[in-house]
Amino acid sequence: MTENALLQYALYFAALIGFAAAYGPYMARVYDGRPGRLGRVFGPLERSLYRLAGVDPDAAMTWKTYAAAALLFNLLGTLAVYALERLQGLLPLNPAGLGAVGAHSAFNTAASFATNTNWQDYAGETTMSYLTQMLGLTVQNFVSAASGMAVLAAFIRGLRRRESENLGSFWADLVRGTLYILLPLSGALALFLVWQGVPQTFGPAAKAALVETVRYDDGGKTVSTAEQTIPLGPVASQVAIKQLGTNGGGYYNVNSAHPFENPSPLSDFAELWAILALAAACCVMFGVMVVDRRQGWAVVAAMTVILVPMILFCAHGEQQGNPLMSKMGVGRLAVEGPAATSGGNMEGKEVRFGVADSALWAAATTAASNGSVNAMHDSFTPLGGLVPIFMMQLGEVVYGGVGSGLYGMLVFVIVAVFIAGLMVGRTPEYLGKKIEAFEMKMAALVVLLPPILVLAPTALAVVSAQAKASLANPGAHGFSEILYAFSSMGNNNGSAFAGLSAAVPFYDVLGGLVMLVSRYWIMIPVLAIAGSLARKKAAPPGEGTLPTHGPLFVALLVSVVLIVGALTFVPALALGPVAEHLMMIGGR
């Protein structure tokens, strides 16, 4: 591990934690209806939206009403994106004249962006018009993130309220999260990216004359050209919210590895920071809203304790590179100083970012439900590639998606509290609320569903002729490509091992269903737990109450998360990246 890498990682976490400490309290005030100075700016717009929609922002909602509103809103968003994709050839802001997106790909994309997954089986710059990118995909980037934060706010209210059915208003939480949290940050980040060189235009693609005429084969026909087409569009605005909202879907096919999405080391640091910034701030918001900031920082500590070793492990695996390359005279060691070289495995990585930054991005983007990439994960070493797979398989609770990552982790907190109660023979409690049978049944649904949605489709894919025909690699790596795909879709991440050609009906239809079930089947039990806790009385802590803000509980929580992930997925990982690593060191 180089000094440069360690310095980057230290600066990253300093910026992340510093922002969370400052922004988390503001987010808590927003969901309590006190946005401060921005209320004077966006307040008239907020009230106009309520009047236009005919909703009362102060109307109380039970957990069932809240869940119904969230599901209805997201269903309408899914249908709207699907319609835009299918009709884009007839709609304006389409300077390239792109036609309708195919039915199964349009379904997969609509489900993907509505669920905050942003799995993409297409090249954005050659498939989606400007209108579809903006009105369809970018809008869903905002509202899918806002929906996750809204459900988190409702869950926190369930923990802090006493003998109440009221979890707040989904419509108010959705609008406030969008206007006061996501929109200002996205605007600022978009302007920063434009300064760094990211395009933001409605103009058509640029044309550039080539130095030499290029000839290539197009379906058996030789084609020659002396001109290069450079796709442009409203890129910066989409990139900003895709990072801040833990969406991840790129404007360009290669996502943030493209120089127009991520042109410089400075833009790279900003985009990388944005992946986890709001997820970390949500933890601080939680502590403020339950009037015990130690609870929020305990969750941050547990998440960081898991993430940091995974980053270092991934970086180490990539820095070591492939031992087979040494036999070819290719150096694998990093060199610092005037003749600096990054060393390690540079396949699939951008020279302007290097090994250390690519490893940090890979771990962070899969810890969150982001899925954006600045390097090709399919080209990582077997152990380097194992890290992003395993991070997703933990359920996207290590920071995780905006809102969804924390409410997923709080379900693990409930499981940990329950286990601790069993060990000492006391009724488990969390923040003064007794954890009983109903809460544990709902928690079991949340914990057990993602592994089913990953492993069952993976098993189906390895016996499907169409699924196997989409693989670019045989053997252990081919299995890893399939396992990665469904780990990504089953946990609403969206990244991929790009050797898998997923634009076929099998992956589009099955993957779309997996993404929908993973997002909303989990959201409903989470709200059910919130509703149950809100109805309960608060019990004052006693001598036997387990403190849930200290190092002991943090260690217990980390153990529960890792054990559930390890026991479930280690056999599958052994067939994929572990087997591939053993083959590599064996010289095969």
What kind and span of H or E run contains 535? none
When mean pLDDT is compared across 404-418, 440-454, 477-491, 558-572, the lowest value belongs to: 558-572
Rounded to whole angstroms, how far apart are CA atoms 127 and 82?
14
How far, in Å, CA of 150 to CA of 142, rounded?
12
Residue 163 vs residues 59, 167, 178: alpha-carbon distances, Å: 17, 11, 30
Q: Is the confidence at residue 530, as pLDDT, over 90?
A: yes
CA 159 to chain centre: 25
SS (H, E, C) 404-464: HHHHHHHHHHHHHHHHHHHHHCCCCEECCEECCHHHHHHHHHHHHHHHHHHHHHHHHHCCC
Question: What is the rounded average pLDDT of the residues 252-264?
Answer: 95
Q: pTM higher than 0.85, yes or no?
A: yes
The single-letter DSSP state of residue 550 is S
* Residue whose pair of structure tokens reads 């057990």 in the numeric block: 448
Q: What average pLDDT does this structure show over 111-120?
A: 95
d(CA 170, CA 443): 22
Using one digit for the tens of pLDDT, what is the confidence trace for 422-464? 888 788 999 999 999 999 999 999 999 999 999 999 999 999 9
Q: Is the pLDDT of residue 273 over 60?
A: yes
Do residues 118 and 108 lie in contact, with contact meaning Cβ atoms separated by under 8 Å? no
Q: Which of 174-183, 419-428, 555-564 is predicted least confidently?
A: 419-428
SS (H, E, C) 552-571: HHHHHHHHHHHHHHHHHHHH
Alpha-carbon distance 375 to 357, whole Å?
Answer: 9
On the 0-12 / 13-18 / 19+ scale of CB atoms within 10 A, 440 is middle
Residue with tokens 């706010």: 153
Tokens of 426: 């006391």
294-306 pLDDT, tens digit per residue, is 999 999 999 999 9
**Can you give the three-state secondary structure of 40-100, one letter per residue?**
HHHHHHHHHHHHHHCCCCCCCCCHHHHHHHHHHHHHHHHHHHHHHHHHHHHCCCCCCCCCC
Token output for 551 = 């190092």
Residue 424: its pLDDT value, please?
Answer: 81
* Rounded average pLDDT over 363-372: 94
DSSP state, 122?
Answer: S
The confidence score (pLDDT) of residue 95 equals 92
Contact 149, 181 (CB under 8 A): yes
Structurally, how many domains does the chain consist of?
A: 1
Query: Which residues are CB-contacts of 381 (< 8 A; sequence separation ≥ 6)?
Result: 317, 318, 320, 321, 322, 345, 581, 584
pLDDT at position 465 over 60: yes
Tell me the per-residue pLDDT of 500-522, one tens digit each, with 9 for 90 and over.
999 999 999 999 999 999 999 99
Sorted by sequence, the CB contacts under 8 Å of residue 94 that are 6+ apart come out as 88, 129, 130, 131
Q: How high is the mean pLDDT of the chain?
A: 93
| Cα gap 510→525, rounded to integer Å | 23
- 3-class SS at 164? coil
Indicate the range of 37-46, 327-336, 548-557 predicted with least confidence.
327-336
Q: What is the mean pLDDT of residues 248-267?
A: 94
Q: Are 584 and 380 in contact (CB under 8 A)?
A: no
CA-based nearest residue to 251, from 120, 378, 91:
120
Q: Which DSSP symbol is given to 373? A: -
Beta bridge partners of 227: 209
Mean pLDDT of 380-402: 94
> What pLDDT score does 342 carry?
67
Q: Please report, rounded to a whole number, the percentage of residues in the chain having pLDDT higher than 90.
A: 85
Q: Is the C-alpha dihedral spanning 388, 393, 398, 401 positive or negative?
A: positive
3-state secondary structure 260-286: CCCCCHHHHHHHHHHHHHHHHHHHHHH
Contact present, 168 and 540 (Cβ < 8 Å) = no
Residue 536 has pLDDT above 70, yes or no: yes
Tell me the pLDDT tens digit for each residue of 244-254: 999 999 999 99
In terms of residue numbers, what domain contains 463?
3-585
Residue 543 has pLDDT above 80, yes or no: no
* Contact (Cβ atoms closer than 8 angstroms) between residue 388 and residue 365: yes
Using CA atoms, how far residue 363 sits from 382, 386, 396, in Å, is 14, 10, 11
